[in-house]
Amino acid sequence: MNFDFNEEQYMFRDTVRDSLKAEFPVDLFRDGGDPVAMEAALWGQLAELGLFGLMVPEEQGGLGLGMVDFALIAEEFGAALVPLSVTDTICASLVLAKFAASVQAENLAKLAAGELRVAFAVYEKNGGYDPADFAATIGGDGLLNGRKLLVAGADRADLLVIVARDAAGTLALYALEGARAGISASRETALDITGDYHSVSFDKVSVSDADRIGGAEAVDFTLDLLAAVAALGLAGIGSRMLDTAVAYVKERSQFGQPIGKFQAIKHRCADMAVDVNTARSGAYYAAWAIASAEEAERLWAVSMAKAKANRMAVHVVREAVQLHGGMGYTWEMALHFHYRRARHLEVLYGSTEYHNERVLQGTMAQLAAG
């Protein structure tokens, strides 16, 4: 059995990589580029490549592909520091198609054309990403109250996909227009300065049954999807930092030879390579699990991938900075942009501790069952 990606998937990956290298170089951030303006310029390029319609059904004008096809692209997005507002929009197409295709047909068609921006509003101040602690609630009067944090591009999102409790206390997924009365967004200061993040407040926002995408199953799937994509992004960051460090140690000389010839440096680069490839394999498995696995296997695959990717990315970026010596800490080298994104993704959609605990609970439940 062949577990590798096929030729078409690799070709698509290479096309996206070349486009990002030409249109969205990291140097733009180093030179003081505004993330919002940079995202706006990138959006049209990605729409031309058909990326926003990648997981939109063909009947709505998309390519009708799946999560495995997106895996390599998500990794490239991480390496290039593509704004998370782009990733959210692409992920939203899979969620809407899976749970509300008939109701969301018009929005799916707009997504496929790159004409709709979507943001996921999940994280809460006291609840983090643990569904058990989410407090945003829709009361018996049909009004939503609550606050979500670190919502990428929320101030210009056409659609907000949120996790909230209904009047019975059951978690569900809802899609609300960003301009709906009672919704307000304010810019937050975040460690990751390659994107823009907002606090979104919901003050007596009217919500109807038509806004509901799905119940607990939809919530669980969405959170796993976003965690898997974060793991893929972290794999991309680790891979880019490994390549950057290896290229640098081949050029920098000490005692009349490149420092990459010293055994201690070789060992550090080898350890980085093992770490990156292990995390990448786990992230690919998580992508497959999103597409094909049962819920229990998906839970383990996603949580193991996210926990490993969290540790790997922070370790590899730190090593890359140190191997650059004093230059690694400067604005000119731009390594800190990847470090900032890695730290942001480390907690986004579940910290290492959260996902380790999730794997443990799942394993104990399986042992208790038999």
The CATH number for 90's domain is: 1.10.540.10
Q: What beta strand segments (E) does 189-272 contain? A: 197-206, 212-214, 253-254, 257-258
Confirm whether 1 is domain-assigned.
Answer: no
Q: Could you report the per-residue pLDDT of 287-326, keeping only the tens digit for each? A: 999 999 898 899 999 999 999 999 999 999 999 999 999 8
pTM for the structure as a whole? 0.95
List, in sequence order, every beta strand (DSSP E) within the chain.
Answer: 118-121, 137-138, 143-152, 159-165, 171-177, 183-188, 197-206, 212-214, 253-254, 257-258
pLDDT at 2 over 80: no
The range of the structural domain enclosing residue 270 comes to: 217-369
Residue-level pLDDT at 330: 86
pLDDT value at 36 more than 80:
yes
Same structural domain, 230 and 202: no
Together in a domain, 152 and 296: no
Mean pLDDT of all residues in 349-355: 93
Is 339 in the same domain as 227?
A: yes
From 197, 214, 231, the end of a domain falls on 214
Residue 160 and residue 274 share a domain: no
83: nearest Cα among 23, 150, 153, 162: 153
Q: For the segment 263-284, what is each residue's pLDDT rounded down to a tens digit?
A: 999 999 999 999 999 999 999 9
* Tokens standing for residue 26: 């990291």
Position 142 pLDDT exceeds 60 = yes
Query: Do 240 and 319 form a contact (C-beta atoms < 8 A)?
Result: no
Give yes or no: residues 62 and 75 share one domain.
Answer: yes
Strand partners, 131: none
Q: Which residues pair with 258 in a beta bridge?
A: 253
185 and 302 belong to one structural domain: no
CATH of residue 203: 2.40.110.10
Domain endpoint, select from 187, 214, 241: 214
CATH number of the domain that residue 338 is part of: 1.20.140.10
Which pLDDT score is estimated for 186? Answer: 97
Q: How many domains does the chain have?
A: 3
pLDDT exceeds cutoff 90 at 133: no
| Cβ within 8 Å of residue 250, ≥6 positions away | 258, 260
In a domain, 239, yes or no: yes
| Assigned domain for 230 exists | yes
Amino acid 209 reads D
Handedness of CA 129, 37, 331, 240 (dihedral sign): positive
Position 29 scores a pLDDT of: 87
Q: What percent of the chain has pLDDT over 90?
A: 85
The two three-digit tokens of residue 156, written as one number: 């210009």
Q: In terms of domains, do 105 and 139 share one? A: no
How far is residue 60's CA from residue 110's CA, in Å, rounded to a whole number?
9
Q: Domain end: 214, 249, 273, which one?
A: 214
Region 67-85: mean pLDDT is: 97
**Whether residue 244 sits in one domain with residue 173:** no
Residue in the structure block whose two tokens are 């704004």: 83
First to last CA, the chain: 30
CA distance 93 to 227: 16
Going by pLDDT thresholds of 50, 70 and 90, the confidence category of residue 206 is very high
2 in any annotated domain: no
The pLDDT tens digits of the residues spanning 171-203 come to 999 999 999 999 999 999 999 999 999 999 999
- Is 65's pLDDT higher than 70? yes
pLDDT at 127: 63
pLDDT at 128 over 80: no
